[in-house]
Amino acid sequence: EVQLMESGGGVVRPGGSLRLSCAASGFTFDDYGMSWVRQAPGKGLEWVSGIDWDGDSIGYADAVEGRFTISRDNAKNSLYLQMNSLRAEDTALYHCARGDGAEYRWNVLDIWGQGTMVTVSS
């Protein structure tokens, strides 16, 4: 079964850091670009960051540029999101999602994880 499972969410104070992980199974992970998409409570979807199959091309939304870092370990079938300088507005459910191709751009998100919740609060 094709599956993505996120972990690493929690409660963190403003200015703090958190590292999210996404474990992939059921498909050849290094064939696909990957993205992180978040959803604040009661709000819509927001694309956060994406990475190509080999990690050579990476992109970020303006809201997280310079604070978040996406990475992947193809040997471990895993995607990561290092989140630094967290703000209250980063509070959201963070989903990892598979792009339907090798690049994170130009490909739809065809497989989604259930998400991991990040709460930034003092």
Would you tell me which residues interact with other proteins (CB under 8 A)? 35, 37, 44-47, 50, 59, 95, 100, 104-110, 112-115
Q: Closest CB to other proteins among 54 and 65?
A: 65
Q: Closest CB to other proteins among 54 and 100?
A: 100
Q: Taking the complex as a whole, how short is the minimal distance between the CB of residue 55 and other proteins, in angstroms? A: 18
3-state secondary structure the chain: CCEEEEECCEEECCCCCEEEEEEEECCCHHHCCEEEEEECCCCCEEEEEEECCCCCCEEECCCCCCCEEEEEEHHHCEEEEEECCCCHHHCEEEEEEEECCCCCCCCCEEEECCCEEEEECC
Q: Closest CB to other proteins among 27 and 112?
A: 112
